[in-house]
Amino acid sequence: MLALRRVRPTVTRSLVRANSTAAPTASTASASDASAAPASTPATDAPAATETRGRKKRRSTRPQRPVLSADSPKEWSRPVAKGLLPAYDLALQVIREDARAIQAEEAELRNKLAKGAVPAEVREKEEKRADILAVMGKVNLPDVRWKAANGMADMSQPVYRHLVEKRWRSDGPLDLLMERLHQMNVIPDVLPDFHPSFDLRLTAPDMNAATHRAGRWKSVEPGSFVPVISTRKQPRLYTTLFDTEPQQYTLMMVDPDVPDEHNASFTTFLHWLQPNLTLPAAQPLNLPTAHTVYVPPHPAKGTPYHRYVVLLLPQTREIKVPGDAFRSYEARMDFDVRSFVEEHGLRTDGGGAHMFRATWDEDSSNIWKQVVKREMPRYGYIPRPDPYVETRKEKKYAAMVGRHASGARVGAGKKIAQTV
């Protein structure tokens, strides 16, 4: 059985963009009027929209952690609200009561020392005990540990010096430094032995390889490769001292991997020297007029990677080195670190050290031309001697024309052994 259905007349419409404001055609208008009429016609027509509203673009907001430092400090806050976890509240109470008891003991001991009530033979021992109590009285407080871990430590207080030194010695920075110094033979190539006593950090700008524009200054990991263009200007040095005793230091930067052609070995080049320095606690080294001007690293083409070693060695006395002792390029060559340390009484049982590596590139050639102002030497491996060089000079087939012992003629290009 077939079902009949009324078919509506087709209306031809012109193709118009959805957001277009073009007026409808006559056929379209008549069809629309015939199909449906509005219930009420407004007195005034609404103005046609001349612009379309596109999709809103969302701003990419990346969550950023607030910068915490001594300049922009932030106080420690409890991770758990008070009363939510009674065990945590009781633990904080026990820690604070213990801290108050130790601080009271320290205050009583220092009062006795100030009044001279301590015998002279045990006075030094009691002063050390008072310093230990000053650390123990605050070392377990949560806010003190939080500030030490987030770069807001007040290095004038012994408790913060203790926590920062403990983290430097136990959490990896010192182990990484000593591993690189021994693994890359800085010890014993430069010094026979070395035991650092404070943290020395080095920063260099992150250079754009295409534009050679300096970016942010980044910390250099000991033993890492640094582009030559990043060290064209002297790097920034930061120190974290754990001892408040006044001390003078000597800064030197050497390269022990300069080829020595005459001895078929390597020699040491002095890049930087500054004696009689007084180090700040945690600020960049504000160096006065350099004693020996900084010469940037410039490995020659054909040489292996160069090790650049920065040393800050404590002095036993004031050093007097002539200002023009290492002014020329030749005077910087063959610099003997061990002899310099012995001559001027520098100590290797303290101080700081850092090292990085560099290889030749086009920027190194530019430093030879613009800074060193010398022609860059080129090195390579000596070719192995060829044991067959004389044999190759002889012809493989010699033309021999003669007669055989039997009297027959021998043609050219054949060798016949003479019969006896």
pLDDT values of the chain reduced to their tens digit, one per residue, 420 residues: 455 555 555 545 554 444 445 445 444 444 444 444 444 444 444 445 555 566 666 666 666 666 666 666 778 888 999 999 999 999 999 999 999 999 999 999 999 999 988 898 999 999 999 999 999 999 999 999 999 998 888 888 999 999 999 999 999 999 999 999 999 999 999 999 999 999 999 999 987 666 667 778 899 999 999 999 999 999 999 999 998 888 899 999 999 999 998 988 999 999 999 999 888 655 556 666 678 899 999 999 999 999 999 999 999 999 998 888 898 999 999 999 999 999 999 999 999 999 999 999 999 999 999 999 999 999 888 888 888 888 888 777 665 555 555 555 555 444 444 444
Structural domain including 258 reads 173-372
The neighbour count for residue 247, using CB atoms within 10 Å, is: 18
Q: What angle do CA 374, 256, 282 make, to 5 degrees?
A: 100
Do 257 and 332 have their domain in common?
yes
Do the domain assignments include residue 142?
no
Do 206 and 353 have their domain in common?
yes
Do the domain assignments include residue 270?
yes
Total structural domains in the chain?
2
Last residue of a domain, one of 354, 372, 390: 372
Q: Report how far apart, in Å, the C-alpha atoms of 307 and of each of 147, 382, 393 are.
A: 36, 23, 45
Q: Report how far apart, in Å, the C-alpha atoms of 79 and of each of 84, 134, 170, 295 are.
A: 11, 27, 26, 51
Q: Which of 303, 315, 329 is nearest to 276 (CA)?
A: 315
Query: Phi-psi region for residue 276, left (φ > 0), alpha (ψ -120 to 50) or beta?
Result: left
Do 315 and 184 have their domain in common?
yes
Let me know if 312 is exposed, middle or buried by CB neighbors in 10 A (0-12, 13-18, 19+). buried
Do the domain assignments include residue 328?
yes
Q: Report how far apart, in Å, the C-alpha atoms of 189 and of each of 182, 305, 309 are.
A: 10, 15, 11
Do the domain assignments include residue 205?
yes
Do 245 and 344 have their domain in common?
yes
Last residue of a domain, one of 347, 372, 397: 372
Q: Can you name the residues that pair with 204 across neighbouring β-strands?
A: 218
Sheet strands (E) in 1-148: none
**Phi–psi pair at 286, nearest 5 degrees:** -95, 90
Q: Are 99 and 141 in contact (CB under 8 A)?
A: yes
Do 264 and 131 have their domain in common?
no
Do the domain assignments include residue 144?
no
Do 228 and 310 have their domain in common?
yes
Do the domain assignments include residue 343?
yes
Within 13 Å and on the Cβ side, how many CA atoms surround 259?
Answer: 17
Do the domain assignments include residue 148?
no
**Phi–psi pair at 284, nearest 5 degrees:** -65, 145
Domain of 308: which CATH number?
3.90.280.10
Q: Are 346 and 313 in contact (CB under 8 A)?
A: yes
Do 364 and 218 have their domain in common?
yes
Do the domain assignments include residue 411?
no
Do 118 and 180 have their domain in common?
no
